[in-house]
């Protein structure tokens, strides 16, 4: 696990001694991405998108900026359909031989084009809904006259 001290996640660190939990969670996320890309996605495959369905963290002790490792274990997987592979995994972060944090994740891997299309449609629906609510709440407001 390598951490860039200039990373924006480090800017609000209170004591400067331990590594923040959000950085550890991001390390776990990057671990499951890297393992999945290396062992379950073929090189010639179309670009993929990872959807996190569930992610939990349990922090057991402080982690400091000295070497730490993440052990990755797949609990369940369904890779029968290359266009929708799902995984359940657990990651344990160890430092100095002690488990400092555990992470549980359920995620699905889709072709990026499929997600892009769906994401665009959902974004459009979200903006439309937001605008309707804004119009209903503020529709009777008038702008002040200038001059």
- Domain CATH code at residue 40: 3.10.129.10
Alpha-helical runs (H) found in the chain: 21-39, 112-138
Residues making up the chain, counted from first to last: 147
Residue 144 lies in a domain: no
Q: What is the mean pLDDT of residues 34-60?
A: 91
pLDDT of res. 116: 84
How many other CB atoms are found less than 10 A from the CB of residue 56? 11
Residue 134 lies in a domain: no
Residue 131 lies in a domain: no
Residue 105 lies in a domain: yes
Q: How many domains does the chain have?
A: 1
Domain that holds residue 83: 8-112
Residue 129 lies in a domain: no
Residue 123 lies in a domain: no
pLDDT of res. 114: 84
pTM above 0.85, yes or no: no
Q: Which two tokens stand for residue 96?
A: 């100095």
Is it the case that residue 9 has pLDDT exceeding 60?
Answer: no
Q: Would you call 9 exposed, middle or buried from its count of C-beta atoms within 10 A (0-12, 13-18, 19+)?
A: middle
pLDDT of res. 62: 95
Highest mean pLDDT among 37-41, 85-89, 137-141: 85-89
pLDDT of res. 88: 98
Strand duo 48-59 + 85-95: pairing: unpaired
Residue 118 lies in a domain: no
Q: Is 57:28 a contact under the CB 8 Å cutoff? A: yes
Instruction: Give me the residues paired with residue 56 across strands.
Output: 104
Residue 78 three-state SS: strand
Q: 121 CB contacts (<8 Å, ≥6 apart)?
A: none
What are the two backbone dihedrals, phi and then psi, of residue 52, each rounded to the nearest 5 degrees?
-85, 120
Is it the case that residue 138 has pLDDT exceeding 70?
Answer: yes
Q: What's the chain's average pLDDT?
A: 86
> What are 65-106's pLDDT values in tens digits?
999 999 999 999 999 998 999 999 999 999 999 999 999 999
Q: Which helix (H) or strand (E) holds 51?
A: strand 48-59
How many other CB atoms are found less than 10 A from the CB of residue 77? 13
């Amino acid at each position: 696990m390598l951490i860039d001290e200039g990373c924006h996640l480090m800017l609000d660190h209170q004591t400067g001694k331990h590594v923040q939990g959000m950085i550890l969670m991001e390390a776990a996320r990057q671990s499951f991405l890297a393992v999945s890309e290396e062992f379950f996605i073929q090189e010639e495959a179309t670009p993929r998108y990872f959807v996190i369905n569930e992610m939990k963290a349990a922090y057991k002790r402080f982690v400091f900026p000295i070497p730490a490792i993440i052990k990755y274990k797949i609990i369940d997987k369904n890779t029968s359909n290359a266009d929708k592979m799902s995984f359940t995994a657990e990651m344990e972060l160890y430092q100095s031989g002690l488990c400092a944090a555990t992470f549980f994740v359920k995620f699905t891997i889709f072709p990026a084009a499929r997600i892009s299309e769906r994401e665009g449609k959902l974004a459009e629906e979200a903006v439309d809904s937001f605008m309707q609510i804004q119009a209903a709440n503020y529709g009777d407001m008038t702008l002040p006259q200038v001059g």
